[in-house]
């Protein structure tokens, strides 16, 4: 029969007691999560801006080569996709705000996210109107 001291020393399971090293790794993981969420936000906004520019460019490119409705429709689809990207960027960024361990890295302020992306959606809406109203 094994006594308690031998059982503890031969137990292959890791200790359940948190150490300073595991606390540090948990904090760093939370920081990486915040930074990854910001990279994802930037990717959504970058895709939305590229789609917005492509929509306006498609309207101008197809103006004298194809029927007018085709250029307007193509531009509209791209511009609507850009508005979707701007909304999805905010949604994804705010959805990752509930990271359980508190990170040391500061998150982007919600007012800034909503303000900037709201403005970008407004620009998309104005471009959409411009695509259909503008003369070729």
Q: Is residue 39 part of a domain?
A: yes
Full domain range(s) for residue 84: 24-133
Asked if residue 8 has pLDDT above 80, the reply is: no
Q: What is the mean pLDDT of the chain?
A: 81
Residue 16 contacts by C-beta under 8 Å, 6 or more apart in sequence? none
Phi–psi pair at 102, nearest 5 degrees: -75, 115
Comparison of pLDDT for 14 and 93, the residue scoring more: 93
Q: pLDDT tens digits for 28-37?
A: 777 787 788 8
Q: Is residue 42 part of a domain?
A: yes
Q: Is residue 112 part of a domain?
A: yes
Q: Is residue 43 part of a domain?
A: yes
* Burial 68-77, CB ≥16 within 10 A → b, else e: eeebbbbbbe
Q: pLDDT tens digits for 95-118?
A: 766 656 566 667 778 888 899 999
* Number of structural domains in the chain: 1
């Amino acid at each position: 029969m094994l006594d308690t001291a031998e059982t503890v020393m031969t137990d292959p399971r890791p200790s359940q007691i948190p150490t300073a090293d595991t606390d540090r790794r948990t904090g760093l993981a939370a920081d990486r999560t915040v930074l990854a969420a910001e990279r994802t936000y930037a990717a959504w906004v970058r895709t939305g801006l590229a789609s917005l520019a492509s929509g306006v460019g498609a309207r101008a490119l197809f103006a004298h080569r194809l029927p007018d409705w085709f250029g307007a429709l193509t531009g509209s689809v791209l511009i609507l996709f850009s508005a979707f990207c701007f909304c999805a960027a905010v949604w994804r960024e705010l959805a990752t705000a509930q990271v359980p361990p508190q990170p040391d890295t500061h998150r982007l302020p919600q007012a800034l996210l909503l303000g900037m992306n709201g403005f970008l959606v407004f620009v998309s809406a104005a471009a959409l109107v411009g695509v259909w109203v503008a003369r070729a």
